[in-house]
Structure 1
């Protein structure tokens, strides 16, 4: 160092060699270490230390340490804060909030998980604030866990003194005038930092403190402000990405390492997904953006499953614990107790949000003490490792995805727990046991909730399934990957006919596809599995659904017959009759379907099973195709029964069926809007989005029949995407046929043909005779309009074979057969009609499509 910078040393006669030794004493090196550093003898160093004590008036070595600290601090401007080289992005709301809090309160603590940007925000506030005095930064990061903090405070404030006097000296310094301290990184020295700050705030009237850490300091008057992750992009277009804090930060940091980088229409979706996968965590986003030098956003996104290998090498000058994402999280993890670490690791088996009751049911097993779980869980919350949010009067918890992946890696690293044994007695790893607990809990809970799905607790039961959908997917995947088909069937067959309430979407079909590669279970579980398959598959493949209905019916043959005293056997028989009639509704055997459904309704009524009685009654109404008024009356009766039971979803379903049957038969059209409006309201109340979509579909169908094709077209296009998304193929067909009708109305006959062809092809695959016949008749109308006259006649023949009595409301033009006879002549019309009558519908459709179903619709 330049000796002129320290005139006091020169005036005291301190030589250059003595000055070198003074600085090393100030670094708390011992004489032996100084001698080695300067290549002197230890005796020479002792001599220079004695000389320094004489010249500077010190009584012991600690006085030299204080002198060196004071002289160094005097050379540097007091209270200098580091200024980051990169720009500050986002946090507008937080900055506004904190400015108000700092103006009104003396003690504010910023909390949040590792990497959320607490230090950066605190420094930004310190540089920008004008209402407070210049801030002094007290960085506690270099201390070891549990260390005293007084020396670090003193050095920041340029205070020198003996250890036992430091607190008093700090108090004296801060008692004069106004002061503002930014105390950073308190998490590993919480107790000592809190004790000192409590003392200082109580004894100094004009001190303001802004602290940062993973948890609150729990001081009187402390205001705790949790720093959330950055806001995520709401949409995937460039403007929306750049309008979010997370997207803006990614773009800014990526442009810094790869000049010219921009968020464009080509990469906006990938950038948005990166920000979402990283939960808006600033450190993770900055580390990811730095990789744009090597990977395009799409490549980055694909590598985020291994983010701890990817997100490394932070900017030089960052604290070591923030140079990689894993180091930042390890810093937090290592401050936990062993029981806190274990609970955090077990929480990683939740794929999304969870409530405390579920966590207690899943995670509280040895060696964790259930009685201690709340305390441990609260500690993880306090330390920002578990995030919380209030939703509809309840509190949900979750791990940020980066925290979850980190914790899961630690759970895997625990290896095999010796005291954890599977059913066969084999040792199981800690991760396997946690997954097993998670899967069993959710599958059992879902099946046990089936009665609630059919009654007055329906809304709560549906809400539970909706919010636990990610857990149920993970649980099914876990048991299926281990070939535990019994556990999977106990869940799926446990819900059974209540899938009609839950809604049959694409996931249940995927699960069944995997399960049905193996034989059904034996005994009662196999019977319930067959019943469930018949119900669920009727939405996608009525032919296959009928096979399972027949299997269930054969299972009960020979058991106690109808009308006898064995109620359990009678209930099984009624279920078999119900699904057998149900699956026949979509084929040509509607008279037989009605007989089965009537018998099922009688048995359920006698047994006092009101819900299944109403279900059989409502389905039987759909078999009364020749008497529309009787259909509506029976559906109204079923709707009333469901209403008494508190089943909003099935009442909505009956009202929807009433609406579409009235439209198709052109009766009571004035009543339809009220039915559909009530259905939509009940669906929302019951928490069933599927029935709400049904009511919107039938409202669009009514608009179309009333001549408002423009509104119908817009609604149907949106609904088609929704029904495809959830896997409701039957309603997707209705949307396609409706869109074809709107196109035909507008004279767009080729577009109409495309819609009718696609819809009819799907209907063939479903095995739904009636809707297939409707599609064929509509397609015949489009062929007539485009000059394909013989083919139009053949399509009418194919439709006639399937369903001789068409729905009046869906026939494109009842005069079409006569028009075709006139156009191509009676003989040619009859020949084409007969050819179509004798040809399976699948062969009538042009173009290539997915594999179709079997039976009458496919073959002779």
Structure 2
């Protein structure tokens, strides 16, 4: 402690600045002559000041102390207290928090008690220390760290020690009186850190001190508010997280990624965020919710793992995120210890509710939590009292969405809570409560989904898809499949509105591989659902399920029979069966739905009739009728889908292209406002095909490439093949016939697996064009023969240009032989595969 620092205890005793200088030198055990030489004064002057110090510091009666040893001991004590109370100096860089620092600068100037709250590991202490070192409008901050105080113990000794006060004769009113006296004069700023486990005692003392002093300001950190009059609470959020991407600059624009990179470089010199690892770093930061402690612990593991390897190990994060740096508080040495610190402060009811909240994989509202979690030994009345306490401890996060408050657990917090729930042996009950509620709500939303309030239903499904995913995970683990089928078949044809999702096919695969269909009407609807969904991936298998549903529906309700007819017609239009066979079936379905008053399925059948029409003009008329009916039903998603197919037909025949652009503009608008991702992708695919039809291959090629990945991800193989068609055409337009053929061969391979006659024919014809352009006329003629075998050419129709060119190139006999070979060769044995 230097001569320019004047402890309040010495100032209160009347010590002068010159006496203060001599006091510190006496504390250094210098003799009077040595002090005189150091200060360039006479020895007699030093003796006079030492006598004054002994008199002033001799005790309550201010009688002279017996010797100068008391001055030495006082100097040592004040130096020790100074060192203990001094703000720790950070040894690593401070990353981010610019907005928070600006907010807090203003708040500490305007308020006497400011409390920083947030979950364990959010960086509250680090932020408070940064602020305390940066603020110049207040006196230097004195740190009062309660981490050393056992829960429930008095906090007054820690206050007294931090202020450099003699402990006195106990922890009662005497200590508090001395603390008040020390803070009564002048201005003081205290940093009261880690208040959560002694919150009651800290709050009581701070309330008293703030009420009885005028110059005291306090910056506190705690998991939740201290609830002191005049307190301003500032919730410290996790660090912002980056979007997933391969651009290092974009990833590093988020503070969480910069923190990861900084700490990783500290333990692995040379570590950088590059285009190779940027996406992995972004995912790590996102999965750790931007929680600074978790990110620092993860970054430390880059000594052992690459970012890609570390990303895959976060499912077991409590085993990976350990071994924090020496010098850190014990509770921050591992992620689990940090969270356990908060958990141990909870009551029994609080722990039980906290553990049950872990069944929510994403945001939830209070009413839903009450319905799902309020079962014995907790009740709805108990939740009203306990839930806010978990909020106050920052174990549950919250945000406002319009007039609704949403709650969620940070992913690390949720995993911690779920481990405790599993250890208690009650996880299965909580998961079942959550699963049955959400799967049932999904089926109940079907009416709105198909027209009454489609926008609200789509928002619900989008918001709760993570809950539905968790519900299906539970349902698929049960010995009986009824709950899983009740959900999938309960939505049924409604999946046409929701759109394909890759997980749907995974769920169907699990159910179909290991379990038979349920009996009765549920089994009929399960087969119908399989027919509609698998039509995106395996049209022949989808057709078999439709026929199975039709056979089962003989003794079922009229509605089930109509749905089975629709499924048969729906799958026949794409399967490689006799063309036109679906018309009668679909017409019967339309009539049945009309008699049943089921306009939604009548519109769906009309839509399918449009796709099955024999010529473009008739198809566009039918699809336009279906689109108008869907509009009257307030079903923008299916109207968008009708417009997409209308545009596709126009593009394929190179007719009415300007109208196609208008249809796609409306389709895109409807898909955007409804939030349906599948329909948005459909619209973009058609726009890319429109660009290609207008010979703008430069714009079309990159769009096809991006869409190919997205359609594969959601499991729509039919549209993935269409993207490959587009890519092949774009590459071929630049003269790159080899890459073009590879794209088209892959499209044909998908089409063979898909079994869609239309996609197969298109793939074969495009591939034949590519082979001819590459000089392989013989192979082109074989592919043309395979296409004509699937879609026989009418003798009355004009001969396609490719056919005439190939006949001239190969000669009539050679051409006829190649055609016959293509017609008789199995698709899987064609020269393209």
* Superposition TM-score tier, normalisation by shorter sequence: 0.7 to 0.9
Instruction: Tell me the equivalent position of 1:388.
Output: 398
On the 8 A contact 1:69/1:155 being kept in 2, the answer is no
- Report how far residue 171 of structure 1 moved: 2.8
Cα distance in 2 for partners of 1:143, 1:217 equals 17
Cα distance in 1 for partners of 2:505, 2:815 equals 43
TM value normalised by structure 1 = 0.85
On the 8 A contact 2:600/2:630 being kept in 1, the answer is yes
Instruction: Tell me the equivalent position of 1:512.
Output: 508
Instruction: Tell me the equivalent position of 1:797.
Output: 785
Structure 2 CA distance for partners of 1:73 and 1:641, relative to 1, 3 Å: farther
Instruction: Tell me the equivalent position of 1:39.
Output: none
Instruction: Tell me the equivalent position of 2:728.
Output: 740
Matched, 1:596 2:602: no
What value does the CA root-mean-square deviation take over the aligned residues?
A: 2.8
Instruction: Tell me the equivalent position of 2:165.
Output: 159
SS of structure 1 residue aligned to 2:452: coil
Could you tell which deviates more after superposition, 91-100 or 664-673?
Answer: 664-673
Cα distance in 2 for partners of 1:364, 1:805 equals 67
Matched, 1:183 2:192: yes
Find the partner of 1:457 among 439, 449, 453. 453
- Report how far residue 734 of structure 1 moved: 1.2
Structure 2 CA distance for partners of 1:237 and 1:655, relative to 1, 3 Å: closer
- Report how far residue 817 of structure 1 moved: 1.2
SS of structure 1 residue aligned to 2:353: helix
Matched, 1:431 2:427: yes
Instruction: Tell me the equivalent position of 2:820.
Output: 834
Deviations 1:402-439 (Å, cap 9, x if unpaired)? 2112212211221xxxxxxxxxxxxxx31111111122
Find the partner of 2:743 among 755, 764, 772. 755
- Report how far residue 546 of structure 1 moved: 0.8
Instruction: Tell me the equivalent position of 2:16.
Output: none
Instruction: Tell me the equivalent position of 1:614.
Output: 603
- Report how far residue 273 of structure 1 moved: 3.2
Instruction: Tell me the equivalent position of 2:78.
Output: 74
Instruction: Tell me the equivalent position of 2:559.
Output: 571
Map of 1:373-522 to 2, 5 A cutoff?
373-391=383-401, 394-414=404-424, 429-517=425-513, 518-522=515-519
Cα distance in 2 for partners of 1:634, 1:68 equals 102
Instruction: Tell me the equivalent position of 2:547.
Output: 550
SS of structure 1 residue aligned to 2:620: helix
- Report how far residue 689 of structure 1 moved: 1.2
Instruction: Tell me the equivalent position of 2:531.
Output: 534
Deviations 1:482-534 (Å, cap 9, x if unpaired)? 33311111111111111111112221111111111221111111111111111
Cα distance in 1 for partners of 2:803, 2:255 equals 64
On the 8 A contact 1:588/1:803 being kept in 2, the answer is no
- Report how far residue 299 of structure 1 moved: 4.1
Structure 2 CA distance for partners of 1:127 and 1:675, relative to 1, 3 Å: same
On the 8 A contact 1:5/1:75 being kept in 2, the answer is no
Structure 2 CA distance for partners of 1:147 and 1:464, relative to 1, 3 Å: same
TM value normalised by structure 2 = 0.87
Cα distance in 1 for partners of 2:634, 2:90 equals 61
Instruction: Tell me the equivalent position of 1:32.
Output: none
* Unpaired stretches in structure 2, ≥5 consecutive residues: 1-22, 31-57, 63-69
SS of structure 2 residue aligned to 1:210: strand
Find the partner of 1:694 among 682, 698, 701. 682
Matched, 1:729 2:726: no
Map of 1:57-456 to 2, 5 A cutoff?
73-76=77-80, 78=82, 80-160=86-166, 161-162=168-169, 163-234=172-243, 235-391=245-401, 394-414=404-424, 429-456=425-452
Matched, 1:673 2:668: no
- Report how far residue 129 of structure 1 moved: 1.7
On the 8 A contact 1:6/1:71 being kept in 2, the answer is no
On the 8 A contact 1:749/1:786 being kept in 2, the answer is yes
Structure 2 CA distance for partners of 1:272 and 1:718, relative to 1, 3 Å: closer
The number of equivalent residue pairs is: 769
Cα distance in 1 for partners of 2:286, 2:165 equals 46
On the 8 A contact 2:265/2:272 being kept in 1, the answer is yes
Could you tell which deviates more after superposition, 135-144 or 263-272?
Answer: 263-272
On the 8 A contact 1:534/1:545 being kept in 2, the answer is yes
On the 8 A contact 1:355/1:397 being kept in 2, the answer is yes
- Report how far residue 205 of structure 1 moved: 2.7
On the 8 A contact 1:232/1:279 being kept in 2, the answer is yes
Cα distance in 2 for partners of 1:645, 1:224 equals 50
On the 8 A contact 2:27/2:72 being kept in 1, the answer is no
SS of structure 2 residue aligned to 1:747: coil
Cα distance in 1 for partners of 2:594, 2:430 equals 44
- Report how far residue 58 of structure 1 moved: 10
Map of 1:581-592 to 2, 5 A cutoff?
581-586=569-574, 587-592=576-581
Cα distance in 2 for partners of 1:797, 1:778 equals 13
SS of structure 2 residue aligned to 1:454: helix
Instruction: Tell me the equivalent position of 1:822.
Output: 808
Cα distance in 1 for partners of 2:502, 2:275 equals 30
Structure 2 CA distance for partners of 1:290 and 1:818, relative to 1, 3 Å: closer
- Report how far residue 315 of structure 1 moved: 2.6
Structure 2 CA distance for partners of 1:8 and 1:637, relative to 1, 3 Å: closer
